[in-house]
Amino acid sequence: MAGQEHIHIDSDNSEEQKQTKGLWHLLSVSDLCQRLSTSPSRGLSHQQVQQRTAEHGRNRPSPPPSQWTRAVLGYLFGGFGGLLLAGCVLVFVSWKPLGEPPATANLALAWVLLAVFFIQAAFNAWQDWSSARVMASITTMLPDECTVVRDGARQSVAASDLVPGDILCIQQGNRLPADVRFVDISHDAKFDRSLLTGESEPVSATVESTDDNYLETRCIGLQSTHCVSGSALAVCVATGDRTVFGRIAGLTNRRSTAPTPMQREIRRFVLIIVGFITVVVLVMIILWAAWLRKDHPDWINVPSLIVDCVSVGIAFIPEGLPIALTMSLTIVANIMKKNKILCKTLATVETLGAVSVICSDKTGTLTKNEMFVTDCLVAGREYTAHSIRTHHPDESINRLRLVSGLCNAAEFDVSTLHRPLHMAKIHGDPTDQAILRLSQSLGAVSDLRSEWKKDYEITFNSKNKFMVRVMSSADSSLLLIKGAPDILLPRCTMTYRKDGSVRALSAHELGEIESIKDTWSSMGKRVILMAQKAVSDDWLQSLVSSQDDKLVLRAAEEELVLVGLVGIVDPPRDEIPEVIDILRRASIRIAMVTGDFKLTAQAIAIECGIIRTHPALIHDVSELSQSSSDKPLACERNAIVVSGSDLGGLSPDQWGLLCQYREIVFARTTPEQKLRIVKEFQARDNIVAMTGDGVNDAPSLKAADVGVALGSGSDIAIEAADMVLLDSFAAIVEAVKYGRLVFDNLKKTVIYLLPAGSFSELWPVVTNVALGVPQILSSFLMIIICCLTDCAGAITLAFEKPESDLLLRPPRDPKKDRLVDIKLLGHAYMIVGLYECLLSYVMAFWYMQRRGVPFSAMVLKFGDYGPDYSSEHVAAVANEASSIYFVTLVIMQFFNLLAIRTRRLSIFQQPPILNRETQNLLLFPAMLFALCMVFIFCYIPGLQKSIDTTSIPAEHFFLPVAFGVGLLFFDEGRKYCVRHGHGFFARIAW
């Protein structure tokens, strides 16, 4: 293993080495407990816990290093930052030594570029650090508790409060919060160590040491590994940075992450922009070298060419985009925190915005996971949970109490036993909790467990779908079993009478039991069957000596005595029907994938709203081949319920038909089948999210495009998931909404920056080089538009609220719906850009004509204006026209900002003010900031002289307002066509 040589522990067995190097795995269990002053039955005392907390500190890893330096360096040497820095250096060179004489405007331009470069680098670094801090604060909200034995009682404590010597109670699905030494294990206890050692198969736990190497011995459980089966009792031997995991983490830097989908889209956009810049700059250099340098040597010199090329490059770069992106992600991170959603990476939110199918587990995800028994069937008679408690107990009910209390892995928290039964805290699986409460209501469970000894156990798993315990008392030995009726009922050949005698089960009685089971299941109840079988002392001794699962499983295959059935209710979460309805309107399909019985799953699916066409269900997958292969959803039946056992025989064509149904329930599925379902949906170009909370959900959570776990779920599910809903399943709606919003707002940012920031700034340079007219927008003012006035507006778009129809649209297809495509470029350049550029030209050349310099006097003159026009006068008027071009662009961009706030909705449907749900009041400070930039650079006398700007006549502030209103009305008409889905503009809508 990588890093193993750094943490290898010497195998010296001397007492001194054991004491100084902490080789707890080489000690016997009794020696270990003696050294740590720990009794496995009583755990540590309150005083010992306080003392060791003071000695060892809290069980927390060292904080991650600051992200500031990494963010700064990433900006300095990558993307737009690198281009800005290169442009700054070139402009400095064009000032000196190339400038003869040095131009003050070039020096001012270089300093502006340098200032913008450092401001944006600092801003990006701050945003990255801020996002990391928010994500770290969300992580601390993740519930991380463990069950320990202290002062002889089980209690839940925060993992950060563990100290060496604590006795941990480990169950299937738990993640180890510290390095532990096992002192008692179930025969099937196994741990997944792949995170640390790379072992692909789970490792069986042992009580005694199997290897001198701390990493190899199986009596040690390592922090952050998972219990995938069985249970164990263990002593905590190392916490925090003293664990193997903590020491490895200290030797490694923060791991690099792969680019997110949004980062790939940004990178693609950068490549497009760099391509444009390269083409335009090459054309300019070729024109200058092949033509202007020879025919018009005085028109553009080398410093001017460098500044022109830099101006074009900077014009094409949307400087506000990196800031808008980081701002958007920070906003989303804060929204996730507010809604108690843990996203391990913000890429999760981006991907969730494109999800088209959600495969959801039932128990604990769609339901409350608060189970209680409502019905019982004992000795052929039905009882409610209330009536069986008040009924005079007979021997058959006593037998139900015995099996439900003993064949049960749940444990009461002794500190809550004084509370009413329904309020007492129980550690264990929710199904076991419900059955344990039933047993306690019929008599004290502690009395039962004091009379019987557990000799062997096979814990419940999703493959067997039952739990077995072999128990013995002073006068008898029993095999007790509880689990799925469809698995166990065929194995039952006898049943109890009320008086406790045993008789054979008739076919008629089996049919009645099946009918009752189906009735309860169709009501959404989970049905559990309990049975037992007497075993001989010889058989028991053979089992104890061999510890062989197969011996128990063979005994449980036949001649079981039916004790009874219980019906357990796990009601859906209150918010689920509304959540399902919202997701359905967003064109996201929800498929239930559960291990429950088919009728139970169907009933809950109907109650949740996953299935709405109840009379039109398909239950037989063979009917899939009878559906139309072209239009499988055209038939009346577009809801289907499928059992996991039926999935193995499906052909690819049948899978294709199945995956097109709108309402699907997969019942009785194993972890392998859940994984297969996710992959089959993905194979048909669906972006799949998987939600779950159990150990059996972990493989599919990892395989899905977005794995979503609940904070109340198992540690292994939380570890496997990309996103954790800490409070409510309803938070997934907010996650989907803001996943879509991030993409929408970035498109708006791009389409806002391109018209003025690149298109309208490109043409003044092109006309200057190709037509020989003065550059109608100075290079300095180009930079001011790109880096200041437009940048402020772009940042405000990150704060835009979701459009009201955002969750009424179908999810985007990542392969087709790109951040920048031909439609967006067409709208930005050929509609808005052309409109703004043309009117800015009109305003500038109209002003020059009024000042006595018509366009005809300048075109193709290349500075040789003849005796009628003074070169100094033309240059002075051109500087004034440059300021007018600048002001016209800035003001029209105000209205472009208002127009592109929404892609489809009218400004009256989503007003920027006077509506708390839709307003974005930051737009107006951004506009005010842009106006301030206009007055600073055009009205301060000292700056006017340095950068060749002038004051602007008043009419040139109001005419652009009229042009901007026209642009706004034009876009309102375009959006009207888009909303009604007809016409040319609807087809080319971005």
Q: List pLDDT tens digits, range 122-139.
A: 776 676 666 566 555 555
Contacts of 574 (CB under 8 A, 6+ apart): none
- Same CATH fold, 341-367+573-622+634-727 and 260-337+736-802+817-988? no
What pLDDT sits at residue 60? Answer: 64
What pLDDT sits at residue 19? Answer: 39
What value does the mean pLDDT of the chain take? 82
Please check whether residue 967 is in contact with residue 896, taking contact to mean a CB–CB distance below 8 angstroms. Answer: yes
pLDDT-derived band at 578, boundaries 50, 70, 90: very high
Reported in sequence order, the residue ranges of 414-554 that DSSP labels E, i.e. its strands, are 426-427, 453-458, 466-472, 477-483, 492-496, 502-504, 525-534
Ramachandran region, residue 165 (left: φ > 0; alpha: ψ -120 to 50; beta: rest): left
What pLDDT sits at residue 510? Answer: 93
Residue 167 scores a pLDDT above 80: yes
Residue 256 scores a pLDDT above 60: no
The DSSP bridge pattern shows strands 706-710 and 688-692 to be: parallel
Please check whether residue 95 is in contact with residue 102, taking contact to mean a CB–CB distance below 8 angstroms. Answer: yes
What CATH code would you report for 35-61+143-251?
Answer: 2.70.150.10
pTM of the model: 0.74
**Which range (18-27, 518-527, 545-554, 758-767) has the least confidence?**
18-27
Type of residue found at 676: R
Mean pLDDT of 866-888: 88
Q: In whole angstroms, what is the distance from residue 828 CA to residue 55 CA?
A: 65
Type of residue found at 83: L
Contacts of 900 (CB under 8 A, 6+ apart): 748, 751, 752, 797, 971
pLDDT higher for 103 or 361?
361
Looking at domain 260-337+736-802+817-988, its CATH class is mainly alpha
Q: In whole angstroms, what is the distance from residue 805 CA to residue 210 CA?
A: 62
For 380-426, how does the pLDDT look when each residue is reduced to its tens digit (9 = 90+)? 899 998 899 888 788 899 999 999 999 998 888 877 878 888 888 88
For 916-963, how does the pLDDT look when each residue is reduced to its tens digit (9 = 90+)? 888 899 999 999 999 999 999 888 888 888 888 888 888 889 999 999
**Which range (97-101, 893-897, 902-906) has the least confidence?**
97-101
Type of residue found at 104: T
Please check whether residue 931 is in contact with residue 889, taking contact to mean a CB–CB distance below 8 angstroms. Answer: no
Neighbours of 250 (CB within 10 A): 12
Residue 117 scores a pLDDT above 60: yes
Rg (CA), the chain: 36
Helix H or strand E segment including 229: strand 226-229
| Closest of 852, 848, 853 to residue 880, by C-alpha | 848
Q: In whole angstroms, what is the distance from residue 642 CA to residue 611 CA?
A: 13
| Closest of 357, 248, 306 to residue 684, by C-alpha | 357
Q: In whole angstroms, what is the distance from residue 514 CA to residue 652 CA?
A: 34
What pLDDT sits at residue 837? Answer: 93
Judge if the upstream peptide bond of residue 615 is cis by omega within 30 degrees of 0.
no
For 786-824, how does the pLDDT look when each residue is reduced to its tens digit (9 = 90+)? 878 888 888 888 888 888 888 988 998 877 888 888 888
Q: Does residue 170 sit in helix, strand or coil?
A: strand
Residue 81 scores a pLDDT above 90: no
Half-sphere exposure of 355 (CA within 13 A, CB side): 34
Mean pLDDT of 53-76: 55
Please check whether residue 270 is in contact with residue 278, taking contact to mean a CB–CB distance below 8 angstroms. Answer: no
**Which range (300-309, 499-508, 603-612) has the least confidence?**
300-309
pLDDT higher for 604 or 202?
604
End-to-end CA distance of the chain: give it in Å, rounded. Answer: 51
Q: In whole angstroms, what is the distance from residue 190 CA to residue 193 CA?
A: 10
Q: What angle do CA 458, 464, 465 make, to 5 degrees?
A: 95
Chain centroid to CA 790: how far?
A: 32
What pLDDT sits at residue 17? Answer: 37
Residue 70 scores a pLDDT above 80: no
pLDDT higher for 608 or 337?
608
Q: Does residue 342 sit in helix, strand or coil?
A: strand
What CATH code would you report for 389-564?
Answer: 3.40.1110.10
Please check whether residue 952 is in contact with residue 883, taking contact to mean a CB–CB distance below 8 angstroms. Answer: yes
Q: In whole angstroms, what is the distance from residue 395 CA to residue 532 CA?
A: 14
Q: Percentage of the chain surpassing pLDDT 90?
A: 26
Mean pLDDT of 965-982: 88
Residue 487 scores a pLDDT above 50: yes
pLDDT-derived band at 281, boundaries 50, 70, 90: confident
Q: In whole angstroms, what is the distance from residue 580 CA to residue 610 CA?
A: 7
Mean pLDDT of 284-311: 83
Q: In whole angstroms, what is the distance from residue 170 CA to residue 182 CA?
A: 10
Tokens found for residue 479: 């095999």
| Closest of 722, 938, 957, 933 to residue 843, by C-alpha | 957
pLDDT-derived band at 319, boundaries 50, 70, 90: low
Q: In whole angstroms, what is the distance from residue 587 CA to residue 578 CA?
A: 15
pLDDT higher for 44 or 628?
44
pLDDT-derived band at 657, boundaries 50, 70, 90: confident
Residue 250 scores a pLDDT above 60: no
Q: In whole angstroms, what is the distance from residue 731 CA to residue 365 CA?
A: 12
What pLDDT sits at residue 197? Answer: 61
Level-2 CATH architecture, domain 341-367+573-622+634-727: 3-Layer(aba) Sandwich (3.40)
pLDDT-derived band at 340, boundaries 50, 70, 90: confident
Q: Which residues of 356-376 are buried (b: 16+ CB within 10 A; e: fewer)?
A: bbbbbbbbbbbbbbebbbbbb
What pLDDT sits at residue 21? Answer: 46
Phi, psi of 569 (to 5 degrees): -100, 135
Mean pLDDT of 156-172: 87
For 529-539, how does the pLDDT look when each residue is reduced to its tens digit (9 = 90+)? 999 999 999 99
Q: Percentage of the chain surpassing pLDDT 70?
A: 88
**Which range (307-316, 462-471, 612-621) has the least confidence?**
612-621
Q: In whole angstroms, what is the distance from residue 143 CA to residue 175 CA?
A: 12
Residue 741 scores a pLDDT above 80: yes
Tokens found for residue 754: 């391109």
Q: Does residue 191 sit in helix, strand or coil?
A: strand
Please check whether residue 280 is in contact with residue 312, taking contact to mean a CB–CB distance below 8 angstroms. Answer: yes
For 351-376, how does the pLDDT look when each residue is reduced to its tens digit (9 = 90+)? 888 899 999 988 888 888 788 999 99
Helix H or strand E segment including 381: strand 381-384
Residue 77 scores a pLDDT above 80: no
Q: In whole angstroms, what is the distance from residue 619 CA to residue 637 CA?
A: 11
Residue 480 scores a pLDDT above 50: yes
Type of residue found at 449: R
pLDDT-derived band at 871, boundaries 50, 70, 90: confident
Residue ranges of the domains in the chain?
A: 35-61+143-251, 260-337+736-802+817-988, 341-367+573-622+634-727, 389-564
